A and B are shown apart, each in its own frame.
Chain A
Amino acid sequence: MSEFLNMGGYAVYVWTSYGLTLAVIFLNIVWARRLLAKSREDARRRLAMRGEQS
């Protein structure tokens, strides 16, 4: 198992690459979802303001 983790001595290269890529994937998901949530919130607020005006 430790041999596997070591990746033949080049562990740092392989695991850093995988870690970075997974981090980029994860960050993309979080970022996109947050953007959508914010847009929905902004839209609700705009509609509420317009509702008050009419």
Chain B
Amino acid sequence: MAWTWFHRLGSPPYIYGLAARLTPWFAWSAAALIGGGLFGGLFLAPPDYQQGEDFRIIYVHAPTAWMSLMVYSTMGISAGVGLIWRIKIAHAVAASCAPIGASFTFAALVTGSLWGGRMWGTYWEWDPRIVSELILLFLYLGYMGLRSAMDDMQRADRASAVLAVVGIVNVPIIHYSVLWWNSLHQAPSVMQLGKPTMPASMLTPLLMTLLGFTVLFAALLLVRLRAEILNRERTASWIREAVTS
């Protein structure tokens, strides 16, 4: 029973249909969560006693930073799966992740820079987390660049997968850099289980945006995945029905 489900996941027409059905659910949920979270962050959360109003950047900076890491992890893992078990759909997933991840990493760097401009008095600092986040952006761009440099799809898949897997080492570096080094970034305040140090009125919108962005990623991924599948499957018989509906 379980294997049927697993085998279906490797079937492009099944994934295509599933993606088409799921996308609206993810898209609208994301809109609600992000809209609600940003609204709560801007209007309902009280101003921080230390930073005043501009701590509210956290409601866009934290989700975009979270996205940059989560998307890369997804990309790296699916690239690895595609590389090791030669599952083509996994490569399609990885390829779909890259542009999404790159753009949100860029957003994370810029929002972080703007927040830092106020908080630390400098728009750019070479602290470990910022540098490794910048490396992450270059890894995304390198993945996309390597793909586009190769005409043969299979070679592009596998070569870029090697890069994606090698770059995974960067993800824990980014996450733990604030613990390992004395740097400008503060220690994680949300992720510690047990006692969050933020009051609920501040925390809830943050959790909403974090979840909302994640769901948005799922929706974007599914849309791009469908495009990838169509491009890869070329003239397979099931496509006729799928694109003329």
Contact = CB atoms under 8 A, between A and B. Distances in A.
- A and B: direct contact (Cβ < 8 Å)? yes
Interface in B203-245: 216, 220, 223-224, 226-228, 230-231, 234-235, 239-240, 242-244
A13 B117 contact: yes
Contact of B38 (A18, A28, A35): A18
Size bracket, chain B contacts: 35 or more
Q: Is the interface of A mostly helix, strand, loop or mixed?
A: helix
A8 B53 contact: yes
Q: Most chain-A CB neighbours within 10 Å: which of B47, B64, B223?
A: B223
Contacts of B104: 24, 28
A24 B243 contact: no
A45 B110 CA distance: 41
Contact of B240 (A7, A35, A47): A47
A24 B64 contact: yes
Nearest to A46: B235
Given A17-B61, A21-B64, A42-B231, A32 B106 contact: no
Interface of B: 34, 38, 42, 47, 52-54, 56-57, 60-61, 63-64, 99-100, 103-104, 106-107, 110-111, 114-115, 117-118, 216, 220, 223-224, 226-228, 230-231, 234-235, 239-240, 242-244
Given A29-B220, A43-B235, 16 more contacts: A7-B52, A7-B54, A7-B56, A8-B52, A13-B54, A14-B57, A17-B61, A17-B115, A18-B57, A18-B60, A21-B60, A24-B106, A39-B228, A43-B239, A43-B242, A47-B235
Interface of A: 7-8, 10, 13-14, 16-18, 20-21, 24-25, 27-29, 31-33, 35-36, 38-40, 42-44, 46-47, 50
A8 B53 CA distance: 6
Contacts of B99: 28, 31
Contacts of B239: 43, 47
B54 A8 contact: yes
